[in-house]
RNA sequence: GCCCCUGUGGCGCAGCCUGGUUAGCGCACCGGACUUUUAAUCCGUUGGUCGUGAGUUCGAAUCUCACCGGGGGCACCA
């Protein structure tokens, strides 16, 4: 059992805790407004603030505290003669929640403070807070007990504030461009819209298996067929796959669809959106990421997949390269070649093995083989290719987009090819979605679509090396019950 | 799935290689001193089956093995 503070009690302990409290100020706002006043002077301002007591310096008949609230920290100044229940104030534990009212003033040593003229206990910390200087260092504890981490790891709090702003700014930016936010099902009768293994669940009333969505894509395109010309959704998707610094089983996707647009226009939209976010949130289109810089100033490089592979490995391959030669190149680079792989799949494998991680970017990798792009429209000039791109930044995929496939006959053929791949043992391959085909048969206009992994975007903007640092409650093995 | 690293009171760490008296230190907590501190300071306490189990040994936090948790890498994927 964990150690608790001595005042831990099994008895009800909130009898004297008020039901409401109304702060009139936040620490950083007070710092901004009164940070410049003369040392040792008082203002005419009386402020009410609330938060946790994070530090405490009791000196007999005078006590100092450091209160942390949503804005940051501010000192509490508590002279015994002024502060009511002074002894109890001095006995507060680090981590206790209190509300304080008093004059905003500055001590002789120049620390802006609130003089504790009245105060109330709002919650006791029954468990001891982490080391007041070192905080939490164990990542496991930080992720499992985020409620503590957010208090003692300022970067962690800042990251999640940033994440919230990212999503908020994306919404506004898209709405300003006439995009409409929609919500589509998370429970899918058949999984679709991506190649990934789904989670399954069960609906009792229908006695029916459902899948947690792996992508909202097919529903969003139904809406374009339905006449919503510009739609977007920001929401959770679920993929039943491994966990790593770049993968969490549930993650947040932005998907948007714009009728009458092609992938070139989506590239422009993507670079404008991401560079806008960087400017707004980081103050610049140049970001520090780990040891290196990322220059997000537009326009971003656009280069085809085969072009980039050839640059990287000094070859001269294309989708028309003889398949035996492609197989041999793939093997040379350590790709595990399966008999079912056609030229397109081989090219993608070679790209992922040799090139993707080496691209610092930002770069739009364009023109993906048809074989690996079952929802993308045929390239207008390149045979066996589709008008698809992925955006690579820092060696990682940030976005995936295409000129959407709008031909229902072709779509059916692509689905059936996926079914063949599934039968051949690829359990991530797609299945036929008859209703989606029906929607296409009513007519889907030329459409450009985009998916951006919000978590990875936040990683870039927050300079986070692991996705767990940008997900409030990352998926972890459940704690063993003792 | 494979490889490497790691697990010592609530938190941050030392001790482990080179096994040996009651396992240390700092913070928190508890008691005491202190009216301008800033991780306040000073004095004194409380609290630990050293992740779990087995083995080697006269003796294991320390060496060996297995298992469990966590981190990183590879594979796979977004």
Question: CATH no. for residue A35?
Answer: 2.40.50.140
Which residue in the block uniquely carries the two structure tokens 């299945």? A431
- pLDDT tens digits for A124-163? 998 999 999 999 998 889 998 999 999 999 999 999 999 9
Could you check: is the Cβ of residue A346 within 7 Å of any atom of nucleic acid strand B? no
Res. A307: pLDDT tops 50: yes
Closest to A82 in 3D by CA, of A53, A118, A114, A49: A118
Res. A119: pLDDT tops 90: yes
DSSP category for residue A358: G
**Packing angle of the helix pair A454-462, A263-282 (nearest 10 deg):** 40
- pLDDT tens digits for A402-418? 999 999 999 999 999 99
Percent of chain A with pLDDT over 90: 75
Residues A48 and A180 in one domain: no
The spacing between the Cα labelled CA in A38 and the C1' in B42, in angstroms, equals 32
The spacing between the Cα labelled CA in A95 and the C1' in B27, in angstroms, equals 14
Residues A160 and A121 in one domain: no
CATH number for the domain harbouring residue A372: 3.30.930.10
For range A87-95, the mean pLDDT: 94
- Residue A9: inside a domain: no
Which nucleotide has the shortest C1'-to-CA distance from A196?
Answer: B77
pLDDT at A318: 82
Rounded CA separation A388/A402 (Å): 4
Residues A72 and A110 in one domain: yes
Domain boundary among A129, A144, A174: A129
Could you check: is the Cβ of residue A202 within 7 Å of any atom of nucleic acid strand B? no
- Residue A351: inside a domain: no
Q: Which residue's CA lies closest to nucleotide B40 at its C1' atom?
A: A57
The spacing between the Cα labelled CA in A165 and the C1' in B7, in angstroms, equals 37
Rounded CA separation A192/A218 (Å): 7
Rounded CA separation A57/A64 (Å): 5
In order of A39, A229, A348, the CA distances from A193 in angstroms are 63, 19, 19
The spacing between the Cα labelled CA in A139 and the C1' in B63, in angstroms, equals 29
Residues 75-94 of A with CB under 7 A from strand B: 75, 77, 79-81, 91, 93-94
Residues A173 and A250 in one domain: yes
Which residue in the block uniquely carries the two structure tokens 């709090």? A157
What's the pLDDT band for A427 if we cut at 50, 70, 90? confident
Q: What are phi and psi of A73, to 5 degrees?
A: -125, 150
Rounded CA separation A482/A475 (Å): 20
Res. A112: pLDDT tops 80: yes
Which nucleotide has the shortest C1'-to-CA distance from A474?
Answer: B70
The spacing between the Cα labelled CA in A140 and the C1' in B27, in angstroms, equals 20
Could you check: is the Cβ of residue A446 within 7 Å of any atom of nucleic acid strand B? no
What is the domain extent for residue A112?
27-129
Highest mean pLDDT pick, A4-13, A307-316, A443-452: A443-452
Could you check: is the Cβ of residue A355 within 7 Å of any atom of nucleic acid strand B? no
Residue A118 neighbours by CB under 8 Å, 6+ apart? A84, A100, A101, A102
pLDDT at A4: 43
Res. A1: pLDDT tops 50: no
Rounded CA separation A442/A439 (Å): 5
Res. A104: pLDDT tops 50: yes
- pLDDT tens digits for A326-378? 888 888 888 888 888 889 999 999 999 889 988 998 999 999 999 899 999 99
Residues for chain A: how many in total?
A: 482
Residues A77 and A162 in one domain: no
Rounded CA separation A423/A89 (Å): 70
Bridge-based pairing state of the strands A230-238 and A180-181? parallel
- pLDDT tens digits for A36-66? 999 999 999 999 999 999 999 999 999 999 9
- Residue A6: inside a domain: no
- Residue A235: inside a domain: yes
The spacing between the Cα labelled CA in A79 and the C1' in B35, in angstroms, equals 7
Residues 418-437 of A with CB under 7 A from strand B: 428
What's the pLDDT band for A482 if we cut at 50, 70, 90? very low
Could you check: is the Cβ of residue A245 within 7 Å of any atom of nucleic acid strand B? yes
pLDDT at A480: 61
Which nucleotide has the shortest C1'-to-CA distance from A469?
Answer: B71
Bridge-based pairing state of the strands A230-238 and A250-259? antiparallel
- Residue A106: inside a domain: yes
Please say whether the beta carbons of A188 and A203 come within 8 A: no
Please say whether the beta carbons of A51 and A150 come within 8 A: no
Residues A271 and A397 in one domain: yes
Number of domains in chain A: 2
Q: Which residue's CA lies closest to nucleotide B47 at its C1' atom?
A: A3
Could you check: is the Cβ of residue A345 within 7 Å of any atom of nucleic acid strand B? no
- pLDDT tens digits for A443-481? 999 999 999 999 999 999 999 999 999 999 998 887 765
- pLDDT tens digits for A239-249? 988 888 999 99
Bridge-based pairing state of the strands A112-115 and A72-79? parallel
DSSP category for residue A357: G
Residues A207 and A77 in one domain: no
- pLDDT tens digits for A199-209? 989 999 999 99
- Residue A349: inside a domain: no
Residues A407 and A445 in one domain: yes
Domain boundary among A77, A94, A129: A129
3-class SS at A232?
A: strand
Q: Which nucleotides of B are covered by protein (CB under 7 A)?
A: 1, 9-13, 26-31, 33-41, 47, 68-78
Please say whether the beta carbons of A252 and A232 come within 8 A: no
Which residue in the block uniquely carries the two structure tokens 């640059």? A311
Could you give the dihedral angle defined by the CA atoms of residues A145, A146, A151 and A157, in that order, rounded to the nearest 10 degrees?
160
Res. A69: pLDDT tops 70: yes
Residues A106 and A194 in one domain: no
Residues 140-199 of A with CB under 7 A from strand B: 140-141, 143, 194-196
Residues A163 and A69 in one domain: no
Could you check: is the Cβ of residue A101 within 7 Å of any atom of nucleic acid strand B? no
The spacing between the Cα labelled CA in A2 and the C1' in B35, in angstroms, equals 37
Could you check: is the Cβ of residue A6 within 7 Å of any atom of nucleic acid strand B? yes
Res. A258: pLDDT tops 50: yes
- Residue A12: inside a domain: no
**H/E stretch holding A172:** helix A154-176
pLDDT at A338: 82
What's the pLDDT band for A13 if we cut at 50, 70, 90? low
Residues A39 and A91 in one domain: yes
- pLDDT tens digits for A72-82? 999 999 999 99
Around Cβ A163, how many Cβ atoms within 10 Å?
A: 23
The spacing between the Cα labelled CA in A269 and the C1' in B59, in angstroms, equals 72
Could you check: is the Cβ of residue A54 within 7 Å of any atom of nucleic acid strand B? no
Q: Which residue's CA lies closest to nucleotide B6 at its C1' atom?
A: A138
pLDDT at A12: 52
Cα of first residue to Cα of last residue in chain A, in angstroms, is: 9
- Residue A315: inside a domain: no
- Say which residue, A306 or A482, is predicted with more confidence: A306
Could you check: is the Cβ of residue A139 within 7 Å of any atom of nucleic acid strand B? yes
Residue A372 neighbours by CB under 8 Å, 6+ apart? A344, A345, A348
- Say which residue, A477 or A198, is predicted with more confidence: A198
Rounded CA separation A74/A27 (Å): 6
pLDDT at A313: 87
Residues A125 and A233 in one domain: no
């Amino acid at each position: 059992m964990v150690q608790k503070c001595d005042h831990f009690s099994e008895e009800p302990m909130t009898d004297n805790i008020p039901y409401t409290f109304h702060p009139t100020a936040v620490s950083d706002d007070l710092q901004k407004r009164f940070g410049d006043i003369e040392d040792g002077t008082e203002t005419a301002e009386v402020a009410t603030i609330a938060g946790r007591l994070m530090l405490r310096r009791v000196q007999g008949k005078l006590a100092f505290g450091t209160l942390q609230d949503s804005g940051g920290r501010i000192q509490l100044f508590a002279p015994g003669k002024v502060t009511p229940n002074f002894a109890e104030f001095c006995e507060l534990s680090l981590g206790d929640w209190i509300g304080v009212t008093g004059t905003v003033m500055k001590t002789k040593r120049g620390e802006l403070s609130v003089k504790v003229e009245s105060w109330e206990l709002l919650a006791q910390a029954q468990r001891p807070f982490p080391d007041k200087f070192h905080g939490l260092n164990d990542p496991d504890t930080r992720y499992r007990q985020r409620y503590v981490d957010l208090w003692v790891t300022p970067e962690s709090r800042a990251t999640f504030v940033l994440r919230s702003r990212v999503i908020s700014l994306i919404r506004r930016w898209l709405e300003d461009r006439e995009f409409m936010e929609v919500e589509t099902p998370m429970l899918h009768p058949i999984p679709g819209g991506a190649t990934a293994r789904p989670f399954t669940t069960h609906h009792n009333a229908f006695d029916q298996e459902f899948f947690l969505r792996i992508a909202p894509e097919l529903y969003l395109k139904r809406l374009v067929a339905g006449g919503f010309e510009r739609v977007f959704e920001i929401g959770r998707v679920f993929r039943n796959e491994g966990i790593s610094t770049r993968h969490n089983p549930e993650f947040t996707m932005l998907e948007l669809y714009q009728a009458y647009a092609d992938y070139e226009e989506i590239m422009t939209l993507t670079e404008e959106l991401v560079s806008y976010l960087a400017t707004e949130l980081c103050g610049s289109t140049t970001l520090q990421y780990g040891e290196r810089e990322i220059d997000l100033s537009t326009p971003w490089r656009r280069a085809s997949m085969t072009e980039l592979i050839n640059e990287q490995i000094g070859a001269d391959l294309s989708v028309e390269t003889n398949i035996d030669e492609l197989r041999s190149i793939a093997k040379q680079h350590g790709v595990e070649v399966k008999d079912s792989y056609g030229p397109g799949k081989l090219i993608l494998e070679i790209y992922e093995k040799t090139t993707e991680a080496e691209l610092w970017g930002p770069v739009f990798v364009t023109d993906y083989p048809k074989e690996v792009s079952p929802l993308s429209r045929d390239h207008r000039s390149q045979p066996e290719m589709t008008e698809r791109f992925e955006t690579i930044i820092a060696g990682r995929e940030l976005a995936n987009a295409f000129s959407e496939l709008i031909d229902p006959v072709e779509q059916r053929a692509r689905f059936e090819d996926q079914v063949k791949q599934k039968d051949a043992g690829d359990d991530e391959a797609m299945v036929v979605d008859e209703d989606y085909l029906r929607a296409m048969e009513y007519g889907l206009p030329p459409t450009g679509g985009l998916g951006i992994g919000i978590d990875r975007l936040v990683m870039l903007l927050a300079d986070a090396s692991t996705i767990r640092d940008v997900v409030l409650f990352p998926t972890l093995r459940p704690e063993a019950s003792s």
